[in-house]
Amino acid sequence: QSALTQPRSVSGSPGQSVTISCTGTSSDVGGYNYVSWYQKHPGKAPKFIIYDVSKWPSGVPDRFSGSKSGYMASLTISGLRADDEADYYCCSYGNNYRWVFGGGTKLTVL
Amino acid sequence: EVQLVESGGGLAQPGGSLRLSCAASGFTFSSYNMNWVRQAPGKGLEWVSYISRTSDTIYYADSVRGRFTVSRDNGKSSLYLQMNSLRAEDTAVYYCVREPGAAVTFDIWGQGTVVTVSS
Tens-place pLDDT, residues B43-99 = 999 999 999 999 999 999 999 999 999 999 999 999 999 999 999 999 999 999 999
Tell me if B66 sits within 8 A of A51, measured CB to CB.
no
How many residue pairs from chains A and B have C-beta atoms closer than 8 A?
65
Contact flag A51-B103 (C-beta cutoff 8 Å): yes
Beta pairing, strands B45-51 & A86-94: unpaired
Q: Rounded to whole angstroms, how far apart are CA atoms A35 and A23?
A: 11
Say yes or no to pLDDT of A60 above 60.
yes
Q: Rounded to whole angstroms, how far apart are CA atoms A96 and B62?
A: 10
Q: Rounded to whole angstroms, how far apart are CA atoms A88 and A85?
A: 9
Q: Rounded to whole angstroms, how far apart are CA atoms B83 and B67?
A: 6
Shortest CA gap B102–chain A (Å): 11
Say yes or no to pLDDT of A97 above 80.
no
The pLDDT value given to residue A1: 54
What mean pLDDT is predicted for residues B103-115?
93
Shortest CA gap A80–chain B (Å): 23
The three-class DSSP label of residue A83 is helix
Taking alpha carbons only, the member of A64, A82, A69, A89 closest to residue A15 is A82
Shortest CA gap B105–chain A (Å): 6
Range of lowest pLDDT (A27-36, A76-85, A94-103, B32-41): A94-103
For A4, counting Cβ atoms within 10 Å of its Cβ (0-12 exposed, 13-18 middle, 19+ buried), the class is buried
Say yes or no to pLDDT of B108 above 90.
yes
Instruction: Specify which residues A21 forms β-bridges with.
Output: A74
**Residue B107 with chain A: CB contacts under 8 Å:** 48, 51, 57
Choose from B34, B49, B104, B114 for mutation: most chain A CBs within 10 A: B104
Encoded amino acid at B44, one letter: G
What mean pLDDT is predicted for residues A3-14?
95
What mean pLDDT is predicted for residues A63-78?
97
